[in-house]
Amino acid sequence: MEDLSQEEWASQLENDENAVVLDVRTDAEVADGIIPNAIHIDIYKGQDFIDEIEALDKNKNYYVYCRSGNRSGQACAIMNQLGFDNAYNLEGGILEWEGDLVDLE
């Protein structure tokens, strides 16, 4: 797992053709907006979270975020334990995000 600053995360993501953006917030948080093209898997879903993560392609690079960076850090650690080599945590989370957000509605 690697913690990336907002600038590093955005820059690396922009230049990564093998990237997947992963939002691990709750449904209520996601309702406030989501980074474009992100997939949403709530870390609080327990075993369902693990099951959904295990179904992902381990050859992709995952850019993981939550509200403040804590849960996404935990998600990256879980992903590393499951055999994912490329999970990048967004330091400061979406609270410090300066890029675009989209509504899921």
Q: Are 22 and 103 contacting, i.e. CB atoms less than 8 angstroms apart?
A: no
Q: Is 66 one of the annotated active-site residues of the chain?
A: yes
Q: Which amino acid is at 78?
A: I
Any bridge partners for residue 4, and if so which?
90
Task: Give SS3 for 55.
Answer: coil
Active-site residue (options: 20, 21, 66, 87): 66
Terminal Cα distance for the chain, rounded: 32
**Cβ count within 10 A of residue 75:** 25
> Among all residues, which ones are annotated catalytic?
66
